[in-house]
Structures are given as structure tokens and as C-alpha cells.
């Protein structure tokens, strides 16, 4: 079974500082990993994904994540935080096959990012 | 177009009411999902439809009844809900490749 652990339910950074959100996964098969962002009272938006190939993945809004198999990690980073980055971030791993091309996602508990002016 | 739409945006209903949530996508995705999300929690999977057939029901109470009339549309019929059912209900869709799920903006449901 697949699982995801997000370290830190709340992270605060100053505007312009490095953003680092941590995600560790457990998977019995090569993992497919995702980061989603959720702004207040909105749905989830895909930031980036890792499937196969290059381990450094670039996403939208200047975010990137590095897949490290040896550390079972997929941490999300952004060099310089902006006020608009304040949101909830979810790491997810592709889980069980539900049939006919559908898969279940296993989410971490989420990390709330606050950006201090 | 990578958009999943959901209506209504907000819904307030009494415990004896019957209402429906609607989800639509025009990306040609053949898998559609309903999730329930409580405050400060990750989404919890409720139902999965693949090729308009229900493939997963995560032990959801029968007061929630999903329906997939066609490949673009997904409904969630609500009846005799409880106050603890108040939550954000999210719809998502996906295709076999790529595998990521695209989420709608959600319906904020309040049961009084």
C-alpha cells in the first residue's frame, strides 16, 4: 500500500525567502507523485508531478520538486516566496488501480504555508 | 481546456431536503471522482466512475447517491443528510495518460 507523510502541518516563511515543504512517501511499486495547492474555498490545483525520468521536476508558479528514491522523499521548493503562495499544499502518491484507467490518490495531511510580509 | 466545473458553488439544505450536486468536464476524461473534504483535512475519496460505471464506493452512506449520466457529467444526489455531512465536495476527472486528476472548485455544503 502507498502512503504519504508531510512533515509540518504549518510552515511560515518571510516574503522572498526559500520555501521548503517536506514530503516522504512509502510505496511498494515505483511511485507516481504529485503536489497540489489549494487556496481557501477552492479546489485543488496540480502544481507538478513525477512519473518517470528526470528526478527534478518543475511546476507552475516557480515551484519545483526533487524525487529522491534513496530518501523516499519528494520535497517541494521555491527559491523566493510570494504573498500569493499562501495556501494549503498536499503531497499525493498514486495508489490503487480502480479499473478502466482510474486510480486512487493517497494524500498527505497537508501543509499550510503562511507568507509573512 | 483543463477545466472541471461544479454547481452550485454553495448549498444550504435541511436534513429532510433532497438536492443534487453537478460536475462537468469536457476533456474527454473517462474517470470521474467524488471527494469529501472537511476543514483542515485532505480530500477523502467517496466514489469513482470509470467509463460511466461505478467502480469504487468507499463505504459511503446511502444518503449519498452518485450518478453518471454520460461521460462528461457526474451528479451526486443528496437526501436526508446529517449536519456532520457539511463539507466541501470536490469532483475530479482523469484520463489513463496522463494520470493526474483535475479538480473542480467544489461545492460548499452546509446541512442545517
| Residue A96 pLDDT > 90 | no
Q: Cβ contacts (< 8 Å) between A41 and chain B: which residues? A: 88, 106, 108
Return d(Cα B29, Cα B49) in angstroms, integer: 11
Q: Look at residue B57 in the predicted model and tell me its pLDDT.
A: 82
| Residue A94 pLDDT > 90 | no
Return d(Cα A70, Cα A72) in angstroms, integer: 6
What average pLDDT does the segment A93-113 reach?
83
Helix residue ranges per DSSP H, B1-112: none
pLDDT in tens, A59-91: 999 999 999 999 999 999 999 999 999 999 999
Cross-chain Cβ contact A43/B106 below 8 Å = yes
Cross-chain Cβ contact A41/B108 below 8 Å = yes
pLDDT in tens, B18-54: 999 999 999 989 899 999 999 999 999 999 998 899 9
Q: Are A81 and A21 in contact (CB under 8 A)?
A: no
Q: Look at residue B98 in the predicted model and tell me its pLDDT.
A: 60
Return d(Cα A71, Cα A94) in angstroms, integer: 18
Q: Look at residue A33 in the predicted model and tell me its pLDDT.
A: 94
Q: Residue B23: in which H helix or E strand, if any?
A: strand B18-25
Q: How many residues does chain B have?
A: 112
Amino acid at each position: 500500500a502507498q502512503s504519504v507523510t508531510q512533515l509540518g502541518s504549518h510552515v511560515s516563511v518571510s516574503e522572498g525567502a526559500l520555501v521548503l515543504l517536506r514530503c516522504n512517501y512509502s510505496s511498494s511499486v515505483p511511485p507516481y507523485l504529485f503536489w497540489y495547492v489549494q487556496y481557501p474555498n477552492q479546489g485543488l490545483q496540480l502544481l507538478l508531478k513525477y512519473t518517470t525520468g528526470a528526478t527534478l521536476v518543475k511546476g507552475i508558479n516557480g515551484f519545483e520538486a526533487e524525487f529522491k528514491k534513496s530518501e523516499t522523499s519528494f520535497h517541494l521548493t521555491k527559491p523566493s516566496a510570494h504573498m500569493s503562495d499562501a495556501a494549503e499544499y498536499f503531497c499525493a502518491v498514486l495508489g490503487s488501480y480502480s479499473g478502466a484507467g482510474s486510480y486512487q490518490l493517497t494524500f498527505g495531511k497537508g501543509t499550510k504555508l503562511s507568507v509573512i510580509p | 481546456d483543463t477545466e472541471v466545473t461544479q454547481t452550485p458553488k454553495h448549498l444550504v439544505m435541511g436534513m429532510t431536503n433532497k438536492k443534487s450536486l453537478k460536475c462537468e468536464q469536457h476533456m474527454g476524461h473517462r474517470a470521474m471522482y467524488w471527494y469529501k473534504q472537511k476543514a483542515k483535512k485532505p480530500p477523502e475519496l467517496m466514489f469513482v466512475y470509470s467509463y460511466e460505471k461505478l467502480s469504487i464506493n468507499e463505504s459511503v452512506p446511502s444518503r449519498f447517491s452518485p450518478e453518471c449520466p454520460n461521460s462528461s457529467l457526474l451528479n451526486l444526489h443528496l437526501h436526508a443528510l446529517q449536519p456532520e455531512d457539511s463539507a466541501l465536495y470536490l469532483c475530479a476527472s482523469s484520463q489513463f495518460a496522463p494520470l493526474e486528476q483535475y479538480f473542480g472548485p467544489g461545492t460548499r455544503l452546509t446541512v442545517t
